[in-house]
Amino acid sequence: MRRIPLLCVLAMLGATALAAPASAAPVALLSDPVYDYTTAIRETVYVETTLDNDGNGTPDKVVADVIRPREAATAGVKVPVVMDASPYYQCCGRGNESEKKVYAADGTVTKFPLYYDNFFVPRGYAFVAADLAGTSRSTGCEDVGGTEEVQGAKAVVDWLNGRAVGRTASGTIVNATTWSTGKVGMIGKSWDGTIANAVAATGVQGLETIVPIAAISSWYDYNRVNGMVNPKVSSVPSLHTTVNGRPSGTCSAVSSALSSGAVSNGNYNAFWAARNYVPSAASVHASVFVVHGQNDLNVQGVHFGQWWDALAANNVPRKIWLSQEGHVDPFDFRRATWVDTLHRWFDFWLKGIDNGIMSEPMADVERAADVWQTSTQWPPSGTTTANYVLQGTGNPGVLAPSGAGSGSLSLTDAPSLSEANAVSSPTTARTGRKVYQTPVLTSDLRIAGTPTITLRVRSSKATTTLTAKLVTYGTATRVNYRASGEGISTLTSQSCWGSSSSTDDACYKDTAKVVSSAAYQVLSRGWMDGQHRDSLTSTTAMNTSTYYTITWKLRPIDQVIPASQRLGVVLTLTDPEFVSAHSTGATATIDLAGSVLKLPIAPATGLSAQTLTPQPLTPLVIDPSWNPSTGTRFQ
């Protein structure tokens, strides 16, 4: 497909011309690649846990595959550890190219997935790739976010600090404190990042920082949506089956317990509570560098939003990147800047190098393909809540930033209504949806945080799904996160990030941003099951003659609606693409005088041209279609 330069995209976006860059900042202190990667020590350690959930009478063991600089070991120099604990090292692979561990005849890893080992080992780090319990060569049984998984990964941190026993395959004790400083940084995308969140929530000493990328903070909010089942993701039992590395029948009891705990209804219960890490944010001692795609339809924005808010409430040192892509690693959407930033982050938190990274802006937010804006804090200073009211029943109705709501809306369930048909052509009357729009904006509007909506509603049935979508209307070229690569495509060219050996190279295929011209973009979504309006743990039927005031959150965002476009909110009932088929055939009557959309509005002064920085330029691929299919996967 034809590629276009970034400045052409900005012209199509109607973006402000970019200012010349400021004078170069002083060169930051960085660790140098002084160690030989090809001669690095590679070893496999079986770390004992305190658990035995496979019931074989011996402690379950988590495999930690280690690579560390030989010269440092010879000189008696201790090194910090970068660690990626994952269930995917053998079943599915890691990264955009789905790399797996490769082993020599003696069982030692000769190839580690991803570039962490290639880049950081020469710079004086060890890298540990840990197989979660019940996966690959680890024993125990994978319990998908539960105690076995979390405590098993935590045991590796404990071993690196001398608090747990590690052995070779032959049983010889391996003492990590002879070479490890005890300072550990956990990193990973998706499930790997989730386990980083979970281990940090235990408060384990020695875990100095985590970098959760597109990570879950609550397994309920991954599999369920305010009382309904999320059909876009794999169930807990099926995830267990996918990653299980144990012989047939070994984990039958655990598999059965997962099926019974993750009941098919939408209720929140003890099973989900044990897999909710947000309430334990007060126990987090590690700093946290959050990375998330605002358009991630797999691990949706609720995960970074509630985790970030809980960390902020407990004054956890933190940093955040928010991109326009879907479920994509920053190595594949902002590679050079990402590797540099991650390098400085780990140098600061694991090596104590005062490189100034914590004095830099807290947040980097992608506005358009490769155009980034920074904020000194997130949500930005001066962000306030603005009430937008719903007025009238025309096509469309008015979304007004002042005044009062007016009128009454009757909305009939249309279970076959797709999202595309629900939000497109806002002036067209369509059964099952109602659009409310602002007038054409005369200045940019920045929404940064978590929108909420309140509807005063009466249902003709005992329950109904309530759906709200925040939409920007106005033709523009945007990152196409609905395409198969969720905003990127993979090229044939390669770039290298670190040192290589004959068995493990540091080179990865380059990527390009995929952009499309579209008349609208859905910015945020939110859903509520009417019978779960008061509680997620139990249901209460809706009385068909009673109005209920129901409030729910939409997904958190940091998006700018440019001047000359319109902001809209689209109301529907059933939304089968995002929540389980829950159509009751209801008709909902909405009292607009008692309904309001609350938006976190950040100051427009933060949108000066100086803050909009294209770096570095990434090849752009024009996709003429806005593909409604998702093609997402958990990895």
Rounded (10°) angle between helices 191-200 and 147-160: 70
Answer whether 149's CB lies under 8 Å from 166's CB.
no
pLDDT digits (tens, 9 = 90+) for 408-419: 999 999 999 999
Q: What 3-state class would DSSP assign to 310?
A: helix
Which residues belong to the active site? 190, 296, 327
At residue 18 the predicted structure's pLDDT band, cuts being 50, 70 and 90, is very low
Q: Give the pLDDT score at 425.
A: 96
What pLDDT, on a 0 to 100 scale, did the predictor assign at position 17? Answer: 29
Region 468-496 average pLDDT? 97
The model's pLDDT over 353-384, given as tens digits with 9 standing for 90+, comes to 999 999 999 999 999 999 999 999 999 999 99
**For 24-59, what is each residue's pLDDT tens digit?**
444 558 999 999 999 999 999 999 999 999 999 999
pLDDT reported for residue 612: 56
260-304 residue pLDDT tens = 999 989 999 999 999 999 999 999 999 999 999 999 999 999 999
Spell out the SS3 assignment of 51-92.
Answer: CCCCCCCCCCEEEEEEEECHHHHHHCCCEEEEEEEECCCCCC
Residue 537 CB neighbours (<10 A):
13
pLDDT, averaged across the chain: 92
Q: Is a pLDDT exceeding 90 seen at residue 15?
A: no
What's the pLDDT tens digit per position in 197-211? 999 999 999 999 999
The DSSP output letter for 444 is: -
DSSP 105-121: TTS-EEE-SSSHHHHHG
CATH of domain 41-276: 3.40.50.1820
pLDDT band (50, 70, 90) for residue 406: confident
Cβ–Cβ under 8 Å, residues 488 and 595: no
Banded model confidence at residue 9, pLDDT cuts 50, 70, 90: very low
Please write the tens of the pLDDT for every residue from 417-426.
Answer: 999 999 999 9
3-state secondary structure of 370: coil
Q: How many Å apart are CA 500 and CA 324, to the nearest integer? A: 32
* Element holding 149 (H helix, E strand): helix 147-160
R_g over Cα of the chain = 25
> 10 Å Cβ neighbour count for 385?
11
Query: Rounded CA gap, 567 and 574, in Å?
Result: 22
- Predicted confidence (pLDDT) at residue 250 exceeds the cutoff of 60: yes
Q: b/e string for 180-189 if b means 16 or more Cβ within 10 A?
A: bbbbbbbbbb
- Whether the pTM exceeds 0.75: the reply is yes
H/E element holding 200? helix 191-200
Q: Sorting pLDDT into bands at 50, 70 and 90, what band is 613? A: low
622: DSSP letter = E
CB atoms within 10 A of CB 343: 19
Q: What are the tens digits of pLDDT across the range 119-178?
A: 999 999 999 999 999 999 999 999 999 999 999 999 999 999 999 999 999 999 999 999
Residue pair 305/315 in contact by the 8 Å Cβ criterion:
no
pLDDT digits (tens, 9 = 90+) for 97-106: 999 999 999 8
Q: Where are the domains of the chain?
A: 41-276, 384-622
φ and ψ of 377, to 5 deg: -150, 165
pLDDT by residue (tens digit) across 301-321? Answer: 999 999 999 999 999 999 999
Can you tell me the distance from the alpha carbon of 4 to that of 8, in angstroms, rounded to the nearest whole number?
Answer: 7
d(CA 554, CA 531): 18
Mean pLDDT, residues 223-242 taken together = 96
Amino acid at 59: P
Give yes or no for a contact between 18 and 373, defined as CB atoms under 8 angstroms apart. no
pLDDT at position 616 is 57
Q: Which CATH number fits domain 384-622: 2.60.120.260, 3.40.50.10490, 3.20.20.370, 3.40.1390.20?
A: 2.60.120.260
Instruction: Look up residue 19 and give its DSSP letter.
Output: P
Given a cut of 90, whether residue 118 has pLDDT beyond it is: yes
Per DSSP, the three-state class of 191 is helix
| Overall average pLDDT of the 1-12 stretch | 33
CB 529 within 8 A of CB 266: yes
User: How far apart are the C-alpha atoms of 412 and 591, rounded to whole Å?
Assistant: 15
Hey, what are 531's tokens?
A: 């019978």
Beta partners for 209? 185, 287
Please say if the pLDDT value at position 6 is more than 60. no
Cβ-proximal residues to 501 (8 Å cutoff; 6+ apart), any chain: 37, 38
pLDDT bucket at 10, cuts 50 / 70 / 90: very low
